[in-house]
Amino acid sequence: MSDYEMLAESPLGGVEIEMDGFNITEVTDKSLVMVALPREKFSEVESSIDQSCGLKLPEMERSTESKDSSITLWRLQKNQVLAYFTYEGNDAESHLSSRLSAPAYYTDQSDTWAMIRVSGVRSRDVLERICPIDLSPEVFPVGGVSRTIMEHIGTIIFRDGDDSYVLLTMRSFGRSMLHAIEVSAENVL
């Protein structure tokens, strides 16, 4: 028993903002682990993940989701997938590696990113003020994921619903990113 109690903090304190046709919520129930695919082991990793979770490796800028929706894999780089999964504990790396059972390299990224979900019928109207990539539904389908820069902040954007996107920025930029989204909403709505 330690003398010191350590409380975990999420990057944005669990912020939740409701506006007209547009909502901003911090995602706090997901963890992130980078899964690096060793050279010459791609197919081995692929079949292990298929066996353990029924998941295929996604195409570039796409994702695949496990049947129970607890794990999503994002492909942003040829030799890496970013695993986005439901877990809030301190051992994301070992938790994921035991679920995937694949001979890959795992590196925890759960604390690296601030995750903000923007949703609602007006989400694309708001995002077009800061998002330089094409968000038209035909071009960026549900399950699509991409990297871009929004207001000088490197951002990963993942479409997790018809009118719902999760934006990830490095944790230290979280406040600036939230502000950029809020200003966009104020300007547009």
Partner 1 sequence: MSQTHRKDGGLIDQDKTITFTFNGQILRGCEGDTLASALLANNKHLVGRSFKYHRPRGIVTVGSEEPNAIMEIGSGAHKEPNTRATVTQLYNGLEANSQNHRGPLSFDLMAITDFFAPLLGAGFYYKTFMWPKAFWEKIYEPAIRNSAGLGTLSKEPDPDTYDKGFRYCDILIIGAGASGLSAALTAASSGAKVILADEDFLMGGRLNSGTAKVDNIPGSEWAKNAVAKLSAMDNVTLMSDTTIFGVYDHGIYGALENRSSESREDSNKPRQVNWRIYAKKSILCAGAIERSIAFGNNDRPGIMLAGAVRAYINRFAVATGEKVSVYTNNDDGWQTAKDLRTKGVRVVAVIDSRSISPVMPIQGAEIFMGTDVVDTKGRRALKSITLSNGKTIDTDSLAVSGGWNPNLHLTCHHRGIPKWNEEIASFIPDEATPPGMSVAGRAKGTMMLSDAIKEGHELGSTVASDLGYKASDLKAASTPAVPYNVVANWGVPSGKNRAWVDFQNDVTAKDVRLANQEGFKSVEHVKRYTTLGMATDQGKTANVLGIGIMAENMGQTMEETGTTIFRPPYSPVAIGAFAGRRRGMEFYPTRYTPSHKWSEEQGAVFVEVGMWYRSQWFPQPGETHWRQSVDREVIKTRSSVGICDVTTLGKIDIKGSDVSEFLNKVYVNAFAKLPVGKTRYGLMLREDSMAMDDGTTARLAEDHFVMTTTTANAVNVYRHLQFCHQILWPDLDVHMISVTEQYAQYAVAGPNSRRLLQKIVDPEHDISNEAFPFMGAGAITVCGGIPARLFRISFSGELAYEIAVPTRYGDALMRAMMEAGKEFDVVPYGTEALGVMRIEKGHAAGPELNGQTSAYDLGMGGMVSGKKDFIGYKLGQREELLRNDRMQMVGFKPVNKGDLVDKGHSMAGAHLLGLREEATTHNDQGWISSSIYSPMLGCYIGLGFIKDGLNRKGEFVRAVDLVRNSDIEVEICSPHFYDPEGGRLRV
Contacting positions for partner 1 (CB under 8 A): 1-10, 34, 36, 38-39, 79-80, 90-91, 105, 107-113, 128-134, 136, 139, 151-153, 170-173, 175-177, 179-180, 183-184, 186-187
Is residue 108 within 8 Å of 93, Cβ to Cβ? Answer: yes
The nearest distance, CB 181 to partner 1, in angstroms, is 12
How far apart are CB 63 and partner 1 at their closest, in Å? 18
Q: Measured from the CB atom, is 5 or 68 closer to partner 1?
A: 5
34 sits in which H/E element? strand 30-36
* Shortest Å distance, C-beta 147 to partner 1: 14
User: Closer to partner 1 at the Cβ: 60 or 69?
Assistant: 60
In whole angstroms, the minimum distance from the beta carbon of 69 to partner 1 comes to 24
Pairing of strands 22-26, 71-77: unpaired
Q: Which is nearer to partner 1, 16 or 91 (CB)?
A: 91
Residue 53 or 76: the one with the smaller Cβ distance to partner 1 is 76
8 Å CB contact between 74 and 64: no
CB 64 within 8 Å of CB 72: yes
What are the CA-CA distances from residue 81 to residues 8, 56, 59, 67 (Å)? 26, 11, 10, 18
CB of 180 to partner 1, least distance (A): 8
- Give, to the nearest 10 degrees, the angle between helix 42-53 and helix 92-100: 90
Q: Which is nearer to partner 1, 3 or 68 (CB)?
A: 3
Cα torsion 156, 131, 176, 180: sign? negative
Query: If we measure between CA atoms, which residue out of 92, 95, 105, 91 comes closest to residue 53?
Result: 95
